[in-house]
Structure 1
């Protein structure tokens, strides 16, 4: 009996020690691998894809041949008229010119104006061959005064040739989703197969406005150009009239040619809500964009469905430690709805339980969160884990 007692006690102690050996490292790992939600595990926010809202064919009276209104953050299309119809863009082309120049060039770079750039017709900033200006000043001349000569000088200075720069413009357009766009020059004067759409221009403006330097550039009402060689300093004014008489106006670009008609890409921000309106070939581009923007601000509101840094769901992980983890939206999820339609919004979460198996690295897609609007799924984003999950070893 005594021998049996000691054997039984020994077995209990043995298993207790074994359990402690197994559990202790897991506890230590748990402390090391349960970080707070920080930039270390945060993923770079993405642009949500454009989403056509129900009733986007209804809105204010618009004279433009093609027009669109979007909310910048969510990508919601609030109004669309021939939005994907290919058209000549005129000087709204320069939106992409500025985007490429800001990403590939140095604003302090001194650019010497070539004879080819100086003789470019249409709207100009009166450059002469041999003039030397900083890229920053040339871009102000391009985006405020719509200088075609400045666009050519920028392209040659940044990429070495017009052809190479135009290639960069087309590559960037495809990269950001403007797939119905083809550029043949950096200024927008008539050229074969030089086209875009109202929707693509909205995409380009949205992308550009996410760059602080671009946003600062297109909201300037005035700027000064300086020619050192000519000892000349000239004040220029922005051709975008909305900057003066529309509340919250902060961009973007005008354009006019015989082929394209009067065009405007306009943006405005109120209460942290930024809208982008595009009007192509319009008999009243100022009125069209103003009415679209006011319509967007007055008739719609933004609902925050999910925040990237806030847990939206919890999931159990098979054979993992920790045994359950929080899931976070890969990016913010916002809904743009007509005022009075809030009750028609229904969030929906889907968990991919078959994928929740250890081990897991941070950033793996384990579900989706989206929302239904009037019974239709409008938009969704991935749900991801922000912490790693180790495989656990159990004796039971």
Structure 2
């Protein structure tokens, strides 16, 4: 049975078109000069490092720590929850450190606290939010460290939610960029952090409320450091950390993140501007599905699970995945590597992942996905046809009485008498187990528990391997559901790759404008 065989014959044209980086691919652009000790420029969509300086060295982050604090709070809380400020939250801060004029006993919503945290860099708000989420600032710091590891941070350790001086509180430019990327991918965080002013409600100190503004001067048109396209960011400063800065900006469909650690004022504003100018001037962000035309060029009619397809899109490329390339490069310069290693965070319909590299640098990925629309259309047609056939086979104009489903009728057509009802009640009573049986069952249960504990230990030893096999079977099932076996897919892929890689070599696409 062919079942989509023709389509998969065409698929390797797509893969083989990127089996090798084209000869003469442009070098990666050289970055600007930055005076800060640690700095990085990262593409927010792909996580690609466009430029960096000491990106894995450890530095004190100061108040840019509050980006992690805000992200964790948003992930754990509702914005309408009420936060009560304790004595510890208000007074366990360094003298003269930034605050929003909130006093012990004041109550604010989580939303108000987040605005105070990110715009005013309020240390008492950081403490109060931490206590609200975890019960104490120490427990919250543990949660911060767990979340940092989940994001891929390897040179980061948090000791408090505010970023005040502590020898055990440090991060790296790369780790902080990972945290900022996760934060700006959260729409609630972005909405709060991009705000240019906010009115906090009245409290025991500010009877009329307090209007606050972001400390990030590149967001404000009234300052000489204003930079068009800034989405948001966070400033920080302590005597040990120096000036620190997170910035996110967007232009021409490309979103960039910069991190400055151990900088100086006002130079760290200039460092950030230079990094953003470099990124926007030298790189382009592309949706892979828009530049790969192999699928859209297939016009042969196919038959897929009984459904006639005039546009064979049973497998589609993820429409939103991006890659980033130097503007001097061609799309064909990116080398594609096909993988079946799909993780839980990838799109649920994925059957394969395509990783792109440019001169051995990862520049993004996309996914091959089963097109659910085809299955849904087919299922809808089947349901309609089944319902129509059932109606045609009924052969009667009599309508069923809806009450009939709710009333029991015996074969004589009469309702059950009281004797029948009593018998039914007895029949429905739970079965009574004698005491002796319970004792026997208890002994057997104890044996089962002991044996089960041993079995669980063995199971636990092999859990990682089993999880891998399960994920692999899920991926293979997606292939089978699409009408072709994994062996057939791999066989076709290898045959076509070797057949067409020679023809593709040296071929180059158009330049990006």
Q: Same fold (TM over 0.5)?
A: yes
Is 1:232 aligned to residue 208 of structure 2?
Answer: yes
Q: 1:322 and 1:256, CA in 2 relative to 1: closer, same or farther beyond 3 A?
A: farther
Alpha-carbon shift at residue 364 of structure 1 (Å)? 6.0
Q: Which consecutive residues of structure 1, in runs of 5 or more, have no partner in the other structure?
A: 1-22, 31-52, 315-319, 356-361
Structure 2 distance, partners of 1:378, 1:205, is: 19
Higher strand share: 1
Q: Deviations over 1:275-333 (max 9, x none)?
A: 1111111121111111111111112112332369998599xxxxx95799843446744
Structure 2 distance, partners of 1:278, 1:174, is: 19
Is 1:260 aligned to residue 241 of structure 2?
Answer: yes
Structure 2 distance, partners of 1:330, 1:131, is: 48
Aligned pairs (5 A) from 1:94-113: 94-113=66-85
Cα pair 2:350 2:367 within 8 Å, conserved: no
Is 1:123 aligned to residue 98 of structure 2?
Answer: yes
Equivalent position SS for 1:157 = helix
The two structures, once aligned, show a CA RMSD in angstroms of 3.4
Q: TM-score w.r.t. structure 2 length?
A: 0.58
Q: 1:200 and 1:100, CA in 2 relative to 1: closer, same or farther beyond 3 A?
A: same
Q: Match for residue 358 of structure 2?
A: 373
Q: 1:340 and 1:160, CA in 2 relative to 1: closer, same or farther beyond 3 A?
A: same
Q: Which consecutive residues of structure 2, in runs of 5 or more, have no partner in the other structure?
A: 5-25, 221-225, 299-303, 342-347, 373-480, 486-513
Q: Match for residue 246 of structure 1?
A: 227
Q: Deviations over 1:343-367 (max 9, x none)?
A: 6624546488xx9xxxxxx8463x5
Equivalent position SS for 1:296 = helix
Aligned pairs (5 A) from 1:5-24: none
Q: Match for residue 342 of structure 1?
A: 330
Aligned pairs (5 A) from 1:77-156: 77-119=49-91, 120-121=93-94, 122-156=97-131
Cα pair 1:308 1:331 within 8 Å, conserved: no
- Count of aligned pairs: 329
Is 1:214 aligned to residue 194 of structure 2?
Answer: no
Structure 2 distance, partners of 1:216, 1:85, is: 31
Q: Deviations over 1:61-115 (max 9, x none)?
A: 2111000001111222111000111111100100010001111112112211111
Q: Could you say which structure has the larger radius of gyration?
A: 2
Higher helix share: 2
Equivalent position SS for 2:315 = strand
Q: 1:344 and 1:80, CA in 2 relative to 1: closer, same or farther beyond 3 A?
A: farther
Structure 2 distance, partners of 1:311, 1:104, is: 43
Q: 1:345 and 1:155, CA in 2 relative to 1: closer, same or farther beyond 3 A?
A: same
Q: Match for residue 8 of structure 1?
A: none
